[in-house]
Every structure is written in C-alpha cells, then in structure tokens.
Amino acid sequence: MGAPLSHQALSLMAGRAAAFLFTFCIPIVLVRTYSLKQYGQFQQLMLLFHTFHPILQLGISHSILYFYPRNTARRKELLNQTFYFLVCVGFFFVVAVLAFGSHIVNYLGSPEIEVYLPWISVYVCCMIISTILELLLIVEEKSVRASQIIFLTGFGRFILLVGISYFYQEIGFLVGALMFISLVRVLVLVGYLVKNYGLCSTRVNWSFFRTQMDYALPFGIATVFVILNTWIDKFFVSAYYGPEVYAIYIVGCFQLPLVSLIFEPVVNVTIPKISQFHQDNALDKVHELWGRAAGSLSIIGLPLCIFAVVFARELITFLFTDKYESSVGIFVVFLFLIPRQITNYGVVLRAFGATRYILKAGLISFLVAAILMFPAIRFFGLYAPPVVVVSSLYLTAFLQLKRTKTVLKTTWIDLLPWPLMGKVILLAALCTMVAKVTVVVLALEAFPHLAFASILFCTMFWGLGVRFGLIDEKNRASLSDFFRRLNPRGSTIV
C-alpha cells in the first residue's frame, strides 16, 4: 500500500518548497543584473512559455490522474498515447512559432527578441512533453521521487541562470540554459517510460484514446480559458506599454509561484483519491477529504496573504530594489487570488469527470475578462488589468463551487470550513497589525524591519493558533513534518 495521502502531499510540498527557494531567487538576481528593458524582454519570452505550456497540453497530461487509478490493465496504452500526443503538439508549436515569429514579436513590441524564438519554442515543446514525468510518479505513489525531480529542475535552473547572469549580460544565454534543462527532463522521461512501461510506437487504441480525450478536452479547453484569463493582462500590458513597463508589471505578479507551491501538490494527490471515493459512491468521504484539504491550506495561505498585503511595499523594494516600487499596487491586487486557490474549487469536479462544466465556467470567465480588459487599461491605466483578472478568476471559482455544492448534495454553509477560515483571518489580521505597529515604533532598517516582522508574526500566529485550537495536534504534526522535510539533514528529497 502506498504512503498516506498527507505524507504524499507533504513530500510534494517539500519538493516544491525547496525548488521554489531557488526559483524565487532567480528574478531577484536578474533585476539587479539586467536593465529594465532586458528583464522585460526576457519576461516577454517567458510569457510565451507560461501561456502555451499549460494550454497546449489540452488536459491530456492531467488526465493521467483520472485514468491511471481506474484502468490498471491499460496503463501502458495510456502512457504511450499521452506521450506521443504531447510530442506532436510540441512539434506543432515549434513550427508555428518559426512561421509566425515576426508577428509575435511585433505584437509584443520587442522586435529584438525574434532571434530567441526558436530556442524558447524548443523549451516550451520539451516542457510540454516532460510534464507527465512528475504526474506519473504521483499516481505511482512515488511522491518522494517526484519531489526529487521538482527539486532538481528548480536547482538546475537556478544554477544555470544565476551563473550565466554573473558572467554574461545577454538574455540569449538564459534562454539557452532553459532549453538545456528541458531537454534533460525529456531524456529522463523517455528512459523511465522505456524501462518501466516499454514505451514504443505501437498502434494507438483509438477507442481508449477517444475516451481519454472526451475527459481531457473539456478540461483542457477550460484550462485554455483560465490561462488566457490569467495571462491576457500581460499581453495587453506588453503590447500597450513595451518591455520596460512590462518588467514593472511582471514583478507585481511574482507571488503566484508561491501559491502553486502550496496548492498544486495537494490537488495532485487529492484528485486520484477523490476519484476512487466517487467510484464507491462515498460522497461523505469526498466532502470530508476535500474540506480537510481546504482547512489545512487556509492555515498556511490566509496568514501569508494578509501579512504580504500589509508589508507589500517592504517586500517589493527589498527583493527587487526601489526601481520596482511601482509594482507594489499590482502585487497587492494579485495577492487576493490566494483565498480563491485555498477553496480547491475545481478538484471535486475534475475527480468526478465533470470537465464540461469546468469548460463552461472557464469560457464565461474568459469572456468577461476579454471584454473588460481593453477599456480597463485604456481608461484606468496600469492598475486596472489586475483587478479585471482577479475578478474574472473569482467568477470561475464561484461557478465551480456552486456546481460542487450540487454534486456533493450539501449547502453553502457546510460546503467549506468557513468558521475555521474566519478565525484564521481574524487571528492573522491581529498578528499582522501587532507586527506592523512594532516595527514602525522600532524604526528598523529595511531588512531587519522585514525579518523581525516575519519572525514576530509567525511566532504570534503559531502560539495563539495552538492556544485557541486553530492549529490542533493533527495540523501541528502535518506542518512539523512538512518543515522537517525541508531540512537537508532530515529530508528524503536531496
């Protein structure tokens, strides 16, 4: 029998946390090494990755989480057809970028980056293909090995990008390093599939493939709308203002990887278990597991959100220097996506196979954002696009939670652990205000100011949370295990 679900989630969170520490440092180094224009141009190239990497998977990668536990006799077919589908999609993207490269860079307002498009297209292609590497290890319940892959990818990216930026101030070398990392990931995936599943170019079982696509495509197309909804503002800002202002804007979005660090591992290990409960028609167990995950995430995510909102200026200027102070307002708006993520709003529907409704919700949200984006940026300036994006993404979450309430046969009051979330918000707000007043009275310099506030906040929140029962024995054990796994001496990750 595999490891307990909580241990699997904690292993993945620990792997992501370790990788995030390296990934988090990359922009901090790059903004100090490159000019605003250079950093903006690099981020314009990365905009292509962040947009097309999730979109072009069309949901086929994450369909492994649904089909692998349910179809034990067809796992080889599942992985073969998934792999070759992603290879074809990735190759198509490379060809499309080479054919329309000049149009892409002209829209982004940076003709100088056209020379790097072939490299970034190969990077996107290889990352699309290798996405299934971690997902396969997760469904095999090899969460520690998945954590190792996540960590090594983040560590390798950090070493290469930071090292290159120290010796060369040329963004082409950065893109080349990313391409190298993605090629290594593909080689590891191919080796693993050949060794364990006999990867080969056998004839596709079209009946099974259609079944897989029937599940994947609605979710994949919904993902297209969600991603476009998430990144549409970046395309508008890039086209409307150019690379220098885009550099300012993208710094305001830097908190989003931290959300994925907390959110995605829990989702990835929860969906297969909920899918099994659904097969057994155990709705009570589904609701219990889903609600417990949301409650645990709230203890981490809500305090993080509140603290970061209050100390937004200190965080931005310390991490990215004073020249990025204009990013503070953008940063604050995007922080309000964290409570939305905590609800795990799409998990139950994905596990139940209700991907067509997810598609409908994503389409409605995208249309709202697309209609409002241009007038917002035209009449209200740089700070309007984040408000449009956040509002439309909350609409997506509301629609999916509404349907989740229906399929679980429950009420809004019982749907999520609202009392726990409310108490966490009140306690986090109290601790943040105390920390803020204290550092203002002490008049500390930038780094001691932020460090002291963080330590005081965490100490107060943990102590009062334990004292008033918000952090019970089970939560304490889980969080302790999480931080223990981050310790290199005790970790099984490195």
Residue 448 in domain: no
> What pLDDT is recorded for position 82?
86
Instruction: Work out the pLDDT band at 258, boundaries 50, 70, 90.
Output: low
| Domain count for the chain | 1
More confident residue, 148 or 321: 321
Q: Which residue has the higher pLDDT, 199 or 52?
A: 52
pLDDT tens track for 277-313: 888 888 888 898 888 888 888 888 899 999 999 999 9
Residues 6+ apart with CB under 8 A from 254: 27, 319, 320, 331
Q: Is the pLDDT of residue 327 over 90?
A: yes
pLDDT at 7 over 80: no
Q: How confident is the model at residue 195 (pLDDT cuts 50, 70, 90)?
A: confident
Q: Is 119 left (phi over 0), alpha (psi -120 to 50) or beta?
A: alpha
> Among 32-41, 173-182, 442-451, which is the least confidently predicted range?
442-451
Q: What is the pLDDT of residue 476?
A: 61
Residues 6+ apart with CB under 8 A from 403: 349, 354, 357, 361
Task: Quote the CA–CA distance of 141 and 268 in Å, as a whole number.
Answer: 11
Q: For residue 162, tell me if it sits in a domain.
A: yes
- pLDDT at residue 206 greater than cutoff 70: yes
User: And the tokens for 367?
Assistant: 């249309």
Pick the more confident residue, 311 or 492.
Answer: 311
pLDDT for 450: 86
Instruction: Provide the greatest CA pair distance for the chain.
Output: 71
Q: Would residue 431 count as lying in a domain?
A: no
Euclidean distance between CA atoms 328 and 403, whole angstroms: 35
Model confidence pTM above 0.85: no
The mean pLDDT of 218-233, rounded to a whole number, is 82
Compute the C-alpha angle 60/62/67, nearest 5°.
85
Burial 142-159 (b: 16+ CB within 10 A, else e): bbbbbbbbbbbbbbbbbe
Query: CB within 8 A of 9, min separation 6: which ones?
Result: 143, 265, 266, 269, 270
pLDDT band of residue 492 (cuts 50, 70, 90) is: very low
Residue 481 lies in a domain: no
pLDDT at 400 > cutoff 90: yes
CA distance 482 to 3: 15
Average predicted confidence (pLDDT) for the chain: 84
Q: Is residue 425 part of a domain?
A: no
Q: Is residue 22 in a domain?
A: yes
Task: Pinpoint the alpha helices (H) of 113-255.
Answer: 117-130, 132-139, 143-167, 171-197, 206-241, 243-251
Please give the pLDDT value at position 457. Answer: 94
Q: Is residue 76 part of a domain?
A: yes
User: What is the percentage of the chain residues whose pLDDT exceeds 70?
Assistant: 88
**Domain membership of residue 315 as a residue range:** 5-416
Q: Is residue 483 part of a domain?
A: no
- What pLDDT score was predicted for residue 306? 95
